[in-house]
Amino acid sequence: MRDVAAGIRSAAERQAKAVWRRTGLPPASWNVAVHDEAGGFLGIAGCWVDDVAMVWETESTEWHLSPADHDATVERAAAFTAAGAVYTATKPRKFRTDPNGVAATLRATYERARARPRPGLKAAPRGSGKPHS
């Protein structure tokens, strides 16, 4: 229940959260709405690291089987990137087969995000309607 309260919405996201804990990085928020500097909605970030405006997505094929669903995923990633977020994605099977490799990639992605000026993106828990930066 703690995971659900923290924004976790699937078994894959629960595994992702366990991998995140291996990274030693600051706490992340899960399934938050991200807005650009003008307040425009960019998308729901599966994992959001606010201090560096980093997005990490779990790319589950079973959720993206239709061309329309896959298009939406690609467009969301493009919107995050165009707005200045540093974006990375991982297939859920990697959480089981190479959690240390995933953690290393996340640490490197975080360092890349930390090395540039943080964009003015804001995030809010889903449904709150109140972005914060």
How far is residue 20's CA from residue 39's CA, in Å, rounded to a whole number?
A: 28
Residue 32 pLDDT > 90, yes or no? yes
Lowest mean pLDDT among 5-14, 55-64, 101-110: 5-14
What CATH number corresponds to the domain at position 16? 3.40.960
Q: Is 89 helix (H, G, I), strand (E, B) or coil?
A: strand
User: pLDDT of 105-133, one tens digit each?
Assistant: 999 999 999 999 999 999 987 655 555 44
Task: Please indicate, yes or no, if residue 66 is contained in any of the structural domains.
Answer: yes
Task: From 45, 53, 73, 43, select the one nearest 61 (Cα to Cα).
Answer: 73
Task: Please indicate, yes or no, if residue 20 is contained in any of the structural domains.
Answer: yes
- Going from the C-alpha of 116 to that of each of 13, 19, 107, the distances in angstroms are 27, 25, 15
What is the domain extent for residue 51?
2-125
Task: From 115, 112, 102, select the one nearest 20 (Cα to Cα).
Answer: 102
Q: Which is higher by pLDDT, 50 or 65?
A: 50
Model confidence at 9, pLDDT cuts 50, 70, 90, reads low
